[in-house]
Amino acid sequence: MTITVLIADDAAMVRAGFAALLDAQPDLRVVGQATTGKEAVAQAARLRPDVILMDVRMPEMNGIEATQRIGAPSFPASPPPRILMLTTFDIDDYVHDALHAGASGFLLKDATPEELVRAVRVVAAGDALLSPGITRRMIAQFAARRPRRPREGALLSRLTEREREVLLLIAQGRSNREVGEELYISDHTVKTHVGRLLTKLGLRDRVQLVIFAYDNGLVSPGP
């Protein structure tokens, strides 16, 4: 199965480099390129790609607003494309907003070619790009800077003790395998718990589970 990709970035060299790399993969195909957030929204509706590589900073409309529009219930493509935000260290403040807007993860622009290809495949498969390294630390930093939301007690009360344990480990950046090893359960059982967490909390992926955990004070930001 071929994964279709839309690249949204106002830097021509970035678009060209990403397009050349992705088109060289047998299972990936770049179907469009956008230079503004407004163009990204229009092309996403028309081309209906599986994945969008979305830069945060673009003219006319930034990547965060574009992500919000693409994830809105009124957006014509259903299900909407998965969005992988492109960022650099100097715009860390935007990443938390991007994830809240519905992005499935983010990738640093200095990532290796292998990391970029893997990221597109991971997001296309319906998973969130959430590694135990830089992603977890950055989300923790953003959560620490922002006022806590009121705890969503009604939602939290729906969780079983085991589901809460799984949620806490996911918020620490653990993979399914690592969660299973910690709790002495199988990978399949972990996936089942993750699916139930997403359904009960009304969330779309693991990234939003992490944000939920931080926003509700279930875990504290740390180094």
**Model confidence over 78-112: pLDDT tens digits?**
788 999 988 775 445 566 677 777 888 778 778 88
Q: Is 112 left (phi over 0), alpha (psi -120 to 50) or beta?
A: beta
Query: Is the pLDDT assigned to residue 9 strictly greater than 50?
Result: yes
Q: What is the pLDDT of residue 132?
A: 46
Say whether the peptide bond before residue 79 is cis (omega within 30 degrees of 0): yes
**Model confidence over 32-58: pLDDT tens digits?**
999 999 999 999 999 999 999 999 889
Q: What is the pLDDT of residue 151?
A: 58
**Model confidence over 113-137: pLDDT tens digits?**
998 998 899 888 776 665 544 455 5
* pLDDT-derived band at 216, boundaries 50, 70, 90: confident
* Euclidean distance between CA atoms 213 and 217, whole angstroms: 6
Q: What is the pLDDT of residue 93?
A: 58
Q: What is the pLDDT of residue 223?
A: 45
Rg over alpha carbons for the chain, rounded to the nearest Å, is 17
